[in-house]
Structure formats: structure tokens, C-alpha cells
Amino acid sequence: KQVKSALRLMGLEEDLLEALTRPANFLEKEIEIALDSGEKKKFKAFRSQHNNALGPFKGGIRFHEEVTEDEVKALGMWMTWKTSVMGLPYGGAKGGVKVEAKELSEQELKRLSKAYVRAFSEDIGQDTDIPAPDVNTNSLVMGWMLDEYEKIKGCSCPATFTGKPIELGGSEGREQATGQGGAYLLEAIASKYNLTPSETTIAVQGFGNVGHWFAKRAHEIGFKIVAVSDSKGGIYLDSSLDPDKVLASKKQSGSVSDYPVGDKINNKQILELNVDILVPAALDGVITGNNADSIKAKYVIELANGPITTAADDIFNDKAIIVLPDIVANGGGVSVSYLEWIQNRTGEHWDLAEVNQKLKDYIMLAYNSISETSESKSLSLRVAAYQVAIQRVVNAMKMRGRL
């Protein structure tokens, strides 16, 4: 739907829609592993390679019981727009295995990871399709996958996977990249809209890796983090929370809601707090046509994927709430993946300061380009982001003679 509306506003032909939404390749395999019990079990595995007009396919591999063909195709396309709007020389892809990952032992997970690579070894590579971690996969899984790939290919080719452990060619700053990128975006909007950090209140829904790193960086810059929540509930403190102390408490008790200072709140309440900036950093679809009218924040930074439905988006446009869209707001992760890929290709290893400076440059370039498009065409930042992303892909496809 977002692609359709962006195309219409760009004056591009509707028949482009098919060329822009259909994946270049969709691969489905059945992989089999031995469980610890000795029993053999089969799993459905997918890889959707959406578009490579701007560069190699790029996107994560998820292990989840609800992985479907449609989901993998949609996420692969979404990666095309994300890498494009971030100005990276990549296309988009996504992979997955339909499996209850939490039911597997570590050894079973390792066997599944290596079996996935054996199934798709002809389809991935540092110049063709570069996987990364996603839901229920991490740097450990990338290490296993890299090892299997290098065995099959007889090469040392660490750039085939990103999000690896540092020891295997991973990059400094990858763990905090998405939250860090969101914090750079926060600084950009504070500068643009003259927000004084010490007077600007922020609520963060979702206190996993991304939410914590964002809150930590925002707090260090001087913003007031007045509320955070996780899946079990949240905490509100008018005078500002210290994200590191909240994290330490969560590690002990299992939830931020057990933090000893402040008022307990739930995940519905955190969205509707009277704050300046709301940061949904957990699940998709949490702000809908039903609760969008109750949102009091003036700015929303989408660190989660798709936290705002299209119905809510329309209400926000009417209320003049400024939304920093997910394809830019959480683009820090894929940007540092790109920096990892460059380091692997050149044999360099950059320190954290260098990685962060380059990450900031990519976030600022993307923000400035969507901001200019938004202002010159009177569009929301989301529609502007899709226009910038789609136009770059369309131009590349035309130059290649594909359109």
C-alpha cells in the first residue's frame, strides 16, 4: 500500500508496481537435521531475493514458527527500500526457517544453521546475497553459518555474512547500531525543531537491545527518559530514569516494571503518556486507528518495524505529529552491516569511534534527503522516504535496461 501511494504521488505508472514488488528470485527448500534424540526432523526454509539493481541482495535470516512465504517476500522488499533510502550499495532480501527456535538445544540450532547454508550455498555470497541476523538468530548463528559456507566454498570469505562475532570479522558497534542510529536521528530532529534536551521528555516502548541502547544514548546526550517498558510492563518517573540502572534491575528481576523507583504503567499507558517524543521499539502494529487519537507526543521515532498502522498514520498526519519512519529510524543496523562488509573486503578493522562517525554520516544523509523531499513536496516523512528509496531503485533499473 505504501509503495502504491508513493508511486501515485511520484506520477509513475501503475504497471511499475509489479516490477517493483515481485521478488527477482524466491527460493524454498526443505532442510533436515538430526535432533539430539537421534530423530530426524524436516523444516521449511526460505530465501526471498527481492531486488539487486543497486547492489547485492542484503537481509536477515529469521528462525520462527510463524515464518511464511508472504512474510519473507514482504520483508525482502522492505529491505530493498531500507538499503536504498540509507544510501547503501545493496538490494533487499530476507530468509527464514519455520521452526520453534526456543524448543531447540544449542547443538540442534547449530545443525539447523549449517543445514540452511548447505541448502542455499549456491544462492548467497559476498557479491550476490549477504545474510545477517534477524529474529532468533544472532552473531553465534552467523559464525556457524560462515564456517559451513567457507567449508563448502573452500575460501576465507567473511564478507558473506554480517553481524558476526568480532573475532570472525564482525564490526565494532554492531550490537548497539540500531539504537545508536536512532539517537543520532534524535539529535537531528532536536536541532531542526529547536528542542532543548534537558526539557524534552521521551517514552520508550520496548527495552530490549534496541530500546536500551537508544535510551542510554539519549540519556547521555541529556534528554529526559521518563518511561520505558518491556513485554511485562513499564515504569514512569517524571524526573527521568537512568537506562543503565533500569537495565541492571531488569536483569535481576526479569522486567523493568519491578524498578524500585517511579510508577508502574502498562504497555497501553506508555503510548498515551504526555511526552514530547514517543519511541516504539518493540512490536509492529501497536499504534492503530483505535488509539492514535490518544497519542500526545509531538514526535514518534519508529525503532520497531511497522509499529504504526496506515489508519494511525492518517490520524497523525491530521494531528501534525511528526513520524520518523522505520526505514530510516532503524537503519543503523544495516548501515553498520555495510561497514562490517567493507572492513571484511579491505582487511581493515575500525575502532568504535570511526564506525560511529560513519554511521552518523549515513543516518544524517538519509534524514536530510527525506527531510528535503518532505518539505519540497509537502509530504509526510514516511511518504518522502518511500519516494526517495523507490526513485533510486527505479533509476538503477532503468539504467540497467530492466524497465
pLDDT value of residue 328: 98
Residue 136 sits in a domain of what CATH number?
A: 3.40.50.10860
337 marked ligand binding residue? yes
Q: Give the total residue count for the chain.
A: 403
Residue 40 annotated as catalytic? no
pLDDT value of residue 316: 98
209 marked ligand binding residue? yes
The angle formed by the CA atoms of residues 279, 284 and 290, to the nearest 5 degrees, is 85
**pLDDT, tens digit (0-9, with 9 covering 90-100), for 170-189:** 999 999 999 999 999 999 99
Residue 349 is assigned to a structural domain of this protein: no
Total domains in the chain come to 1
And the C-alpha cell for 119?
541448502
Residue 304 is assigned to a structural domain of this protein: no
pLDDT value of residue 2: 75
Residue 72 is assigned to a structural domain of this protein: yes
From the centroid of its chain, how far is CA 379? 23
From the centroid of its chain, how far is CA 141? 18
**pLDDT, tens digit (0-9, with 9 covering 90-100), for 115-154:** 999 999 999 999 999 999 999 999 999 999 999 999 999 9
Task: Tell me the torsion sign for CA atoms 74, 75, 76, 79.
Answer: positive
Q: In what order do the strands lie in the sheet with 233-236?
A: 263-265, 233-236, 224-230, 201-205, 277-280, 299-301, 322-324
58 marked ligand binding residue? yes
Q: Are 270 and 281 within 8 A, CB to CB?
A: no
pLDDT value of residue 9: 81
Q: Which H helix or E strand runs over 403?
A: none
Give the 3-state secondary structure percentages of the chain, helix then strand then coil, rounded to 5. Answer: 50, 20, 30
For 131-149, the DSSP string reads: EEE-TT--HHHHHHHHHHH
And the C-alpha cell for 86?
540509507
Domain that holds residue 48: 22-168
State how far the Cα of 178 lies from the Cα of 334, in Å rounded to an integer: 8
Decide: helix, strand or coil at residue 199: helix
State how far the Cα of 281 lies from the Cα of 136, in Å rounded to an integer: 17
Residue 34 is assigned to a structural domain of this protein: yes
Q: Are 256 and 237 within 8 A, CB to CB?
A: no
Residue 278 is assigned to a structural domain of this protein: no
200 marked ligand binding residue? no
Provide φ and ψ at 130, rounded to 5°.
-115, 100
Residue 150 is assigned to a structural domain of this protein: yes
393 closest CA partner among 110, 143, 20? 20
From the centroid of its chain, how far is CA 339? 16
| Parts of the chain with a pLDDT under 70 | none
Decide: helix, strand or coil at residue 370: helix
398 marked ligand binding residue? no
Residue 70 is assigned to a structural domain of this protein: yes
Greatest C-alpha distance within the chain: 63
- Which one is catalytic: 73, 94, 250, 360? 94
Residue 31 is assigned to a structural domain of this protein: yes
